[in-house]
Amino acid sequence: MGERGEVFSTKLVKNDRTYFFNVKENIYGDLFLNIVESRPTDTEGRYLRQSVIVYQEDMGEFIKEFQKSIDFIKMHGTRKPQRSGIQRRSRSAEKNSEE
């Protein structure tokens, strides 16, 4: 087993973001994928890291749904100028509107 349970790791660096694809092994010997995005913040030397874990038993379905998303983007994903009056709603705003 590798350091911190890592058995395989690769990364992709694009502009100011770095994506890590880490295959890890838990204490029971099960493998899982940990996808991490890292990007610098406004504070020098600080990075924002976000992580998604996909377990081995979910991998097939995850890949299937991920591929659907990629196919949608390929068919509909043209860069359009952002409309000035529309802003993304935060999760807390969405939650409050549901209540």
Confidence at residue 77, expressed as pLDDT on a 0 to 100 scale:
83
Measured CA to CA, the distance from residue 35 to residue 45 in angstroms comes to 22
pLDDT < 50 positions in the chain:
1
User: What are the phi and psi torsion angles at 42 (to 5°)?
Assistant: -70, -20
List, in sequence order, every residue forming a beta bridge with 49; answer none if it has no partner: 38
List of domains in the chain? 1-65 (3.10.450.700)
Confidence at residue 40, expressed as pLDDT on a 0 to 100 scale:
95
Tokens of 13: 């660096």
Confidence at residue 22, expressed as pLDDT on a 0 to 100 scale:
96
User: Locate tokens 């991490």: which residue?
Assistant: 36
